Structure 1
């Protein structure tokens, strides 16, 4: 069964990973470019950053989809030959892992909750790869993130291992330099 190419890019905060990922997608022509943004507008600064990034991609005719939760809903609009950039796994993970914090019962504390979300994510990514030509996924390094929580770091590590195993290319970014690991 044919599948699209998977490129996984990881790096520290401000390592240049997102710009590098965009450059990979921009190298393809005559295909629809889709940017999946996991960020949420929580304050005025984030709202301005999201809008600035969206405007930067307009000149290349990117379709930007703000999808902090339920990434599987995006599969409904994907078409063959699409080029998809998902930025980023770490934001998705934080959203999912700490879902329910307002009520005092987070997903990370509910038995089987994250396992179900992880299974759904794997199925979603495999479905995407069955449709698109390219899926580029960006993530922060496991220990180089703002979240210092053992559940978060363990899940991020687990996700990274799977993504590297599935990837056609695994790239680590450091200070704007790309190091291919696979």
Structure 2
């Protein structure tokens, strides 16, 4: 079917749009969550997201590191939302994983019959970070977003809740 990348800044509305696109793709959508609870505030955010999805028909799979394998294990025709690539990348960086290999695995897992919607933060619009880890993260996120965008059928940038289609024309 199709691959859609939804990009935007923090609190831009990208996840809400991605959820709508995924639910419109068919019944029994899968929510592939990548967040890890590194502290109490993040644990509370994750719990709130779980509560927000409760009763909405989502099947949630939490996979902060092995996300490509989790995506490949989803039933072939099920619509999938991956939220988010940026948190997944953070987990890989902090775990000192091979990002290039993980990216190749993700790109291979996108070859599936069902629609796949991926969410990512656009981190390249701000200032140059003042430390090496932050610069490595920003650069890795930019490369990951470019590779996914090249593979995607649709790419949408969201700012202030407003979608701007960059590639293709998903049913917004």
**TM-score between the two structures when normalised by the length of structure 1:** 0.80
Equivalent position of 1:123 in the other structure: 105
Equivalent position of 1:102 in the other structure: none
For the residues of structure 2 that align with 1:43 and 1:56, how far apart are their CA atoms? 20
Residues 12-23 of structure 1: pairs in structure 2 closer than 5 A: 12-23=9-20
Q: CA RMSD in A?
A: 2.1
Equivalent position of 2:146 in the other structure: 161
With over 3 angstroms needed to count, the CA separation of the structure-2 counterparts of 1:137 and 1:76, relative to structure 1, is closer
Residues 124-163 of structure 1: pairs in structure 2 closer than 5 A: 124-127=106-109, 129-143=110-124, 148=129, 149-163=134-148
Aligned to 1:7, the other structure's residue is in SS state: strand
State the 4+ residue runs in structure 1 displaced beyond 6 angstroms: none
Equivalent position of 2:91 in the other structure: 95
Q: How many residues align?
A: 163
Q: Would the aligned equivalents of 2:107 and 2:151 in 1 still touch at CA under 8 Å?
A: no
Q: Would the aligned equivalents of 1:78 and 1:132 in 2 still touch at CA under 8 Å?
A: no
- Please report how far the alpha carbon of residue 160 of structure 1 lies from its aligned counterpart in structure 2 after TM superposition: 1.1
For the residues of structure 2 that align with 1:95 and 1:140, how far apart are their CA atoms? 14
- Please report how far the alpha carbon of residue 142 of structure 1 lies from its aligned counterpart in structure 2 after TM superposition: 2.1
With over 3 angstroms needed to count, the CA separation of the structure-2 counterparts of 1:144 and 1:67, relative to structure 1, is farther
- Please report how far the alpha carbon of residue 61 of structure 1 lies from its aligned counterpart in structure 2 after TM superposition: 1.4
Structure 2: 5+ residue runs without aligned partners? 168-172
**TM-score between the two structures when normalised by the length of structure 2:** 0.84
For the residues of structure 2 that align with 1:52 and 1:78, how far apart are their CA atoms? 24
Aligned to 1:13, the other structure's residue is in SS state: coil
Residues 65-104 of structure 1: pairs in structure 2 closer than 5 A: 65-75=61-71, 77-99=73-95
The Cα offsets for residues 82-110 of structure 1, whole Å up to 9 and x where unpaired, read as 111111111111111122xxxxxxx3xxx
Q: Rg: which structure is higher?
A: 1
